[in-house]
Chain A
Amino acid sequence: MTNHPSKVAVVTPWYPTAQHPFRGAFVQAMVDATGPGTDMSVFHCEEWGHRQPAAPIESAYAKLLARTHHPLRFVPTAGGARVTQLPVPLSVTPRYAEVAKRHAEVLGQALQGKPMPFDIVHAHVGLSGGWGALANVGPDTPVHVTEHASFLGKLLDQPDAREMYDELLHRVAGFYAVGERVSRPLIDAFPHHKDRIELITNPVSFEYERPVPVTELRRWLYVGTLSQLKGVNWLLEAFARCHAEDPALTLTLVGDGPLHAELVERAAALGVSEAVTFAGVQPPDRALLLFREHDLLVHASRFETFGMTIVEASAAGLPVLVTRCGGPQESLAGIESDAGEMVEVEEGSDALVDGYRRLRDRFPDGLDLARARRVLDDRYGYATTAREHHRVWFGEDRG
């Protein structure tokens, strides 16, 4: 790959940490894919919400920033890039405009009021990373924004946030949505920006592949938040019904969330405690290893803008049983039956149980996991992502 001398800054509210090992894994993957060949610095502007009086915290943080960020300090991260952790302490608020302004303020404090010294700035999440970046660049620095947020509906209902988003779309050099579920509400809200909103997908690493192919669909795996939005309650119900037919089935739930205690209780009530493992939150590299130790990824989410875990599982050679919750229809378009089985989103376990039975009946000959993997690599692999980003940043295909 040709070396780009350009200094690129990535501004993001989401990046994996010990507190949230999965949050922003897709931004880290983007850095991993696009960093090589550039001089890339990541600003991880992580929101640290609190319900305490704001003034003492903000005044103390201003003093601390002088100690920790003047000058800016970094550690190495993916893709040969460097990252600085820049917490954004803020009073918990439902007002997206306030959150965006706080991001801009903290980034400005870290930069000591000077413009970001970079040739290109690529921000993630419009009204946090994007707004913060726009407020802190010089007039000649292009700002690109990738939007991933699943909360755009709520944001656009707030007049001040909507106005700021409109301004953001006017000012950015490029704007990218990670899927149609993200771009659609924006195009509906800002039809005059329709032509500025492009699609650019999250990258997925295809470096890792199961050394031994799946031979039977017995060890189920779920990776994500244990919440109703992710449909984990229905996943457990479906598992219990399938387990009654085949007691050799097991289920591993990786992650944590508000439903944890309820799920533990429900597993006991359903008589499947022995077969269900609550593995807790795992670092991303461990989660990848879990693909090796399981036979089927089950994802029963109600809504996904992309659904990275599903593509990662397919990339690792694991069949998937997923709901038609938005992102997966796009990511698996044309290879649904090669990759696994898709079922409708419903408030119940019937669709998942029926989907599992259909999948089990046509496994392995009715699937083509190798083809699914090839197609996905072409769509979401690092090479594709790097090429797309370098095209919009540098105006040519140097990938």
Chain B
Amino acid sequence: MGEHVVILAEGGQRKRAAATDAERVVADGNEATLVLRQRSKWLDEPISDRVRVVDLHDLEKQERWMPVEWLLLVRVPRFAFKVVGVGPIKGFSQRASSAWRRRVANPLHRRVFLPMVRRRAGSRPESLMERGIGARTVVDVLLITDPGSMPTAADFLEHHDVPRVAYSLDHAEATAIGER
């Protein structure tokens, strides 16, 4: 295997570019790792089986606090709505349960719990990315393929020595005028 190219596509705003570059990397006989968030959102963009996928969302779900949050925000309220919602108020209770999930649990998860956990050193996206890739794995090229990946990329580069950084595979070999 030749070079290891990590394609960071955390924001998911330019999936086609990320998937195309990953496919080209493996087609050229190199190793490609595609770092994304929530693979289920990539169903419209096929990813080659030869590309290794690191899903930051999955890694985040493995954090210790997640079951506790899930219990507090989702399971306990759902159980409560179920217990209360019998007889004539069953329909109302079911609607209230979904509204809770949509209007309270999900925003709380996104705006409060996630930012809190991402402040912990081991749970920051770049740490999850490092864990997903393998802490000792050499990265020869880092491609930052969308704006949502930029904060993670900048943090990752503060602690890792990556010889080449670019925004697409076509530009991975870019040189300054007069260089080489």
Contacts and interface: CB of A to CB of B under 8 A. Distances in A.
A67 B166 CA distance: 9
Contacts of B17: 17-19
Given A48-B14, A68-B166, A71-B176, A89 B171 contact: no
A74 B177 CA distance: 7
Contacts of A61: 147, 150, 154
B165 A67 contact: yes
Given A18-B20, A19-B14, A48 B146 contact: yes
A64 interface: yes
A68 B165 contact: yes
Contacts of B144: 64
B168 interface: yes
A56 interface: yes
A85 B167 contact: yes
Contacts of B174: 73-75, 84-85
Nearest to A46: B167
B16 interface: yes
A281 B166 CA distance: 24
Contacts of B166: 68, 85
B151 A19 contact: no
A85 B168 contact: yes
A19 B157 CA distance: 25
A119 to B, nearest CB: 15
Given A50-B13, A74-B177, A18 B21 contact: yes
B175 interface: yes
B176 A73 contact: yes
A52 interface: yes
Contacts of B16: 18-19, 281
A74 B179 CA distance: 10
Given A57-B151, A60-B153, A71-B176, A50 B171 contact: no
Interface size class of A (residues with CB under 8 A): 20 to 34
A73 B175 contact: yes
B157 A89 contact: no
Interface residues of B, number: 30
Nearest to B144: A64
A15 B166 CA distance: 17
A67 B161 CA distance: 12
Contact of B157 (A17, A49, A59, A67): A67
Contacts of A68: 165-167
A89 B147 contact: yes
B57 to A, nearest CB: 15
Contacts of A85: 166-168, 170-171, 174
Nearest to B150: A60
Given A57-B148, A72-B176, A84 B171 contact: yes
B176 A64 contact: no
Contact of A87 (B147, B151, B154): B147
Contact of B147 (A57, A63, A74): A57
B53 to A, nearest CB: 18
Interface string A9-42: 0000000011100000000000000000000000
15 contacts: A17-B17, A18-B17, A19-B14, A48-B14, A49-B13, A50-B148, A52-B11, A56-B151, A60-B151, A60-B154, A64-B144, A64-B157, A67-B165, A74-B177, A89-B150
Given A56-B150, A57-B148, A63-B154, 11 more contacts: A18-B170, A48-B146, A50-B147, A60-B150, A60-B153, A61-B154, A63-B157, A68-B167, A73-B179, A89-B147, A281-B16
